[in-house]
């Protein structure tokens, strides 16, 4: 409604003018909190995608070493799940090394009594009984015998952590061959390896 009086300025009475584009600015301000909440969801999605990508790269499909035709000084079989012994036997048949170090809980009870032509089998019980203990023993044997190359047999998910730990203790060439565990153990393996790798990178940085 417009009111005009002589000697006075014309005044328009009614609701405030709409903003640019004919939209009420109050409507835009009411929708603003929704738009501000969207970046939080985007951030969560980015973090989830990053974790999934790293899990795949580090633990599911780690870097694989080609050992066909390689003759190392020794094969080191780490303890844990998966058909590691079968992989080690295949390496023995291919004469990949003249010495095989096999990690077992008990040398007396768990060391297999098998004939491996051309391969000297030595079982050992690591102290501490984990990957760190296994790597330390393998490195000590390498120093004692002047070894310059090792083939390591591990589980797929353990591959990255085994490389990190062994290269801290052994300066020679390292080749990792993996045994794939059963699907039933994958969830546990992935959770365990995330924690174990974090410990190796943050809290146990020495050999």
Q: How many Cβ atoms from other residues are within 10 Å of residue 185's Cβ?
A: 15
Question: Looking at the structure, do residues 52 and 139 belong to the same domain, yes or no?
Answer: no
Flag whether pLDDT at 119 surpasses 80: yes
Question: Looking at the structure, do residues 188 and 92 belong to the same domain, yes or no?
Answer: yes
Question: Looking at the structure, do residues 119 and 51 belong to the same domain, yes or no?
Answer: no
Question: Looking at the structure, do residues 83 and 130 belong to the same domain, yes or no?
Answer: yes
Flag whether pLDDT at 189 surpasses 90: yes
Domains of the chain: total: 2
Mean pLDDT of the chain: 86
CATH of the domain at 131: 3.40.50
| Burial status of residue 104 (CB atoms within 10 A of its CB: 0-12, 13-18, 19 or more) | middle
Q: How far apart are CA 150 and CA 189, in angstroms?
A: 24
Question: Looking at the structure, do residues 42 and 95 belong to the same domain, yes or no?
Answer: no
Residue ranges of E strands in the chain: 2-3, 11-12, 74-77, 99-103, 120-124, 149-155, 173-179
Question: Looking at the structure, do residues 86 and 177 belong to the same domain, yes or no?
Answer: yes
Question: Looking at the structure, do residues 78 and 167 belong to the same domain, yes or no?
Answer: yes
Question: Looking at the structure, do residues 116 and 187 belong to the same domain, yes or no?
Answer: yes
Q: Could you tell me the pLDDT band of residue 47, with boundaries at 50, 70 and 90?
A: confident
Last residue of a domain, one of 60, 85, 106: 60
Decide if 13 is inside a domain: no
77, 97 in Cβ contact below 8 A? no
Question: Looking at the structure, do residues 132 and 110 belong to the same domain, yes or no?
Answer: yes
Decide if 6 is inside a domain: no
Question: Looking at the structure, do residues 95 and 188 belong to the same domain, yes or no?
Answer: yes
Range of the domain at 90: 74-203
Decide if 95 is inside a domain: yes
The average pLDDT across 149-176 equals 96
Read off the pTM.
0.78
Per-residue pLDDT at 35? 56
């Amino acid at each position: 409604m417009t009111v005009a009086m002589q000697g006075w300025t014309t005044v328009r009475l009614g609701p405030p003018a709409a903003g640019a584009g004919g939209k009420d600015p109050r409507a835009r301000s009411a929708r603003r909190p929704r738009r501000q909440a969207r970046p939080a969801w985007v951030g969560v999605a980015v973090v989830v995608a990053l974790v999934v990508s790293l899990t795949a790269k580090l633990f599911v499909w780690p870097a694989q070493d080609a050992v066909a035709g390689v003759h190392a000084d020794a094969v080191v079989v780490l303890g844990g799940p998966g058909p590691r012994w079968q992989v080690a036997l295949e390496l023995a048949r291919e004469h990949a090394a003249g010495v095989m170090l096999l990690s077992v809980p008990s040398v007396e009870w768990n060391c297999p009594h098998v004939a491996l032509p051309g391969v000297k089998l030595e079982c050992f019980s690591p102290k501490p009984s984990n990957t760190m203990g296994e790597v330390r023993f393998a490195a000590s044997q390498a120093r004692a015998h002047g070894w310059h190359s090792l083939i390591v047999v591990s589980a797929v998910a353990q591959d990255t952590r085994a490389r990190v730990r062994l290269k801290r203790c052994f300066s020679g060439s390292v080749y990792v061959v993996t045994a794939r565990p059963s699907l039933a153990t994958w969830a546990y393996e992935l959770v365990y390896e995330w924690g174990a790798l974090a410990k190796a990178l943050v809290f146990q940085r020495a050999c």
